[in-house]
A and B are shown apart, each in its own frame.
Chain A
Amino acid sequence: MSSTVEIIKGGGDRPSETFKRNKLYKSLVSVCMSVKIPQGQAEDIAGSVCDKVITWLKDKSEVTSNDIRTAAAKHLKKLHQEAAYLYEQHHIII
């Protein structure tokens, strides 16, 4: 991964920020726990997905928050389909 990856938020409507692994990790743990995955397993899954997303970000300097979400959901789907479904749905429920 390049030293800092810029995340463009809200299609450019909101200020961009640098990629933070911990932020992605927390949201993944939260979604895993909301489908009743035990905390330890949720942390393992979140860690694994974060690693995959970081590998994917390696040659990129700028991506959108939606790209991050799509990439994370794709990897999460391989580990837990229900959690991935809820993760994908989060921004399109309302």
Chain B
Amino acid sequence: MSIAASLAIIILAALIHSSFQLSLSVLTILSGHTIGSKNTQKKLFSLTTNFLFGAGIITLLLMSVIVLILINLFGSNSPQVIWAGGCGLLFGVAISVWLFYYRRQKGTALWIPRGVAKYLMVRTKATKMKSEAFGLGMMSVMGEILFIIAPLFVGSLAITQLPAPWQILGIIVYAEISLSSLSIIWFLIGRGKSLSKIQRWRENNKYFLQFVAGAGLIVLSLFVYVYEILGTTVGGL
């Protein structure tokens, strides 16, 4: 696989990752509690920045672990069956996103079990220190692991195809892009944008975002299938 094709897969996978919403919801609640508890703008900036770092670090760690496991198992040429598994995972998660991602009710309530949602709410409310915000950022990424595992896995497969110096760059690019939506919300909150406007936009566009995430996964699945499976079997004949 060429470097350009690998990077294209990594970027598309990271964009899909960034469209998942749990971290955005937690960041919105964290900001609401922080502003509502008469904290300063400096405190808000500090907590939300640490939240962002937490989400970024756990994404980097997850990506690095998956890449390391894949390289140890298969080297830089993963067998086609693994790519086929990645395509299936993407397709399955795409259908799940379309069917289950948002609950059919008002607001932006997600698929996650209500017990987990309540726990996240309680933890968010209790977050007063930077380290807690950092941990919360990590937890919010882990909370969506069932959905983000698909783009993470295929992104990691693409990274293993890159030459060694490019692999670190690939991991960093993935983590950076996957944080883009969270960074936008972080920036808007930091600039004083009303939380109710942000939440209203998210609520009004939730089904569009759900459709885009699912469609992105299907497109990535087809791209990987055509390029990596068909391209090396039919094209290789």
Contact = CB atoms under 8 A, between A and B. Distances in A.
Nearest to B35: A34
Contacts of A39: 38
A79 B202 CA distance: 24
B107 A89 contact: yes
Interface string B171-186: 0000000000000000
B64 to A, nearest CB: 28
Contact of B109 (A35, A85, A88, A92): A92
B22 A94 contact: yes
A7 interface: no
Given A34-B35, A36-B192, A82-B194, A94 B199 contact: no
Contact of A93 (B29, B37, B38, B197): B29
A26 to B, nearest CB: 9
A28 to B, nearest CB: 10
Interface residues of A, number: 20
A89 B121 CA distance: 13
B132 interface: no
B36 A93 contact: no
Interface string A24-60: 0000011111111001000000000000000000000
A83 interface: yes
A78 interface: no
Given A34-B195, A85-B196, A85-B199, A92 B107 contact: yes
Contacts of A5: none
A30 B196 contact: no
B51 to A, nearest CB: 14
Contact of B29 (A85, A88, A94): A94
Nearest to A27: B36
A89 B192 contact: no
B76 to A, nearest CB: 40
B60 interface: no
8 contacts: A35-B194, A82-B197, A85-B200, A88-B106, A93-B29, A94-B25, A94-B117, A94-B121
Given A35-B194, A92-B105, 18 more contacts: A32-B36, A33-B35, A34-B33, A35-B196, A36-B194, A82-B197, A85-B200, A86-B32, A86-B196, A86-B199, A88-B106, A88-B107, A89-B203, A90-B32, A92-B108, A93-B29, A93-B199, A94-B120
Interface of A: 29-36, 39, 82-83, 85-86, 88-94
Interface of B: 22, 25-26, 28-29, 31-33, 35-38, 105-110, 112, 117, 120-121, 192, 194-197, 199-200, 203
